[in-house]
A and B are shown apart, each in its own frame.
Chain A
Amino acid sequence: MNIVFALAGVVMKEMYRRKDFYVLFVLTAVMTLMMASVNFFHDAKVVRIIKDVCLLLIWLSALVIAVTMTARQIPAERENRTIFPLLAKPVSRVQVVLGKFAGCWFACGLALLVFYLFFILISGTRENYWPMLQFFKAIWLQWTMLGVVVSLVLLGSVVFAAPSSNATICFVVIAGVLLLGRHLNHLAVQQAEPLRTVVYALYFMVPHLEWFDVRDFVVNDRPLPGLVDCGLATCYAALYSAVLLFATWLVFRRKALNQ
């Protein structure tokens, strides 16, 4: 376990060193503050559009950080040939996969905390309302969802040839699930066979990432799903992460690393 955490630590340090997070955070902050400075009919209490824009930017930034950071982990180790001394430590391949996953996931969690701290400050000072449990649930659900994303991208990084193609394909898949996932069953019944079965199978197979997007609840001050529902969703995400990580290990354990 120590080896996994040691590997995770290296990945997290990489996030501090790289500029991605800082650029995305500054961009989010500047755009939100610009939005907050706009005067709408001399009404200083308008807040939902600011929350909406800020949360959208947080979601986009978190996805960009998670996908780009995870996509380059294993290919970079192979390209720089650092994978060989790493595996000679001795570190098993399953530890490499788990270490990379843990590092990327914790780094995403850290980035989320900073983003949400800014969001809570902006939202709370503007509307004098601090629903901390709501915010905690929103952060937790998003972080859980990022766990599935990180696992998916990690699997992509051992399947696809280059980080760029992996990142692009993963972005398309994630966007597709977020936008269409909820409606695939309704789309399926409108199709003729065999497409209907294919779309229905897809509906049951894909991880429903859209469940974890509770921005509308936060923006519109609606009560978020209960703790039991959040817990069940967490188990659902954990299961999908485990399946994807296992698949990653299955591919990675037999993969020739010197190509």
Chain B
Amino acid sequence: MTIEAALSSALEGAVVIETGDQRGEFAGMLFAMFGAEVIKFEGRQGSNSRCIGPFAKSERDGEQSLYFERYNLGKKSVTLEFEHPAARAARHRLGSRADVVIDSGEADSVERRVKLYHEMQQSNPRLIVCTITPFGLDGPYRDLSMTDLTHLAMGGVMASCGYDPRPDGTYDTPPIAPAMWQAYHIACEHAVLAVFAALHFRELTGNGDLIDVSIHEAVSNCTEVAVPSYIYNHAIVQRQTGRHAAEHPTRPWLRRTNDGRYVKAFMFWSRHEARVIGEMLREAGIEHDLDSDSYRELCERSPSAGHSHLNGLVDKLAASMTADELFHRAQAKGLLWASVRVPEENMADPHFQARGTFQPLDGLVAGRALYYPVSLATDGNERLTAFQHGAPQLGEHTREVLTQLGISNAEINLLAREGAI
């Protein structure tokens, strides 16, 4: 059964080949989300991401990795050893059928495969090849060994994330790498953007391309005000607890609520907000002076002292109710506040249920669908994208894909004997 969603057919008919390691898997998944046929070449041992936890049951079972499951939705799995000499004919036929190749990994191994893609482009000049490597395919850092953590460090994310400094301005806590796998998310988002650009250009010219995505540059591109602050004002933003890094210390956003949780109370410190908070305090039965002349005078005499006073009252307000109660009450009055939730909490929230944010997919756990947070847009009523199926088992589509390429059973058996599948 085909699951209908308006933009899940945007790439209908397009064939995307995915090779390499975990760094590019999210990109392949996003192409599957838009309806491309994404064929993942894993080799006989399976992708290394099948060994990345957490695991549904026992560790090291390649069919139980939640990581693999999460980032390979909607794909087909083929165990062809892509670089094996015996795989040349299959590669050639695949190359003439494919629209896009996504390859990720260390620059050396990717570059070795790029030579194979050039061969494929000889017979199919429309082929778009996109590589995702730590630093791109050239440059002095090209061959550095990297992980998600070290990317978030060098790309500037960690320098903006963490906890408040001590009163003397020094830090006793480290910069923080926000969980999880965000460097690869950012790189894959840019890879998808880049491939879409090349697909549109191909419509004009008929030609494919070779795109070289650098994870380091992608992460660097995603640090908001940090770089402009330095470029224009030679200022360095300082990390702060639960709020934006800033040149100068700002007031807290996180407030502890009476259920031991937090609300993020984002504020502009305006008079309007003070008036609304005054209403909320009154409704909660908490005395306050926010509508008094003395508070107005305090704000006029010293805005900072006025903000400090208001800050203390917001703490009191938060301490009087639960996080979700405060979230809804604040939003009802137009404040930009939200409870700090764990992601899975949203599964039971009627808002996300109504929007179809979590798509149930069978596969990993027998007899039970798991809910995946995969929908991020609707057409006003229904989700715009959906996956046709979950992640593939290792080699689940080997024979199907090779047969579609016109490779006979005898040839497939020969590939198996030669260790290519």
**Are both chains from one complex?**
no
Q: Using a CB–CB distance below 8 Å, which chain A residues touch chain B? A: none
- B-side residues, CB < 8 A to A, are none
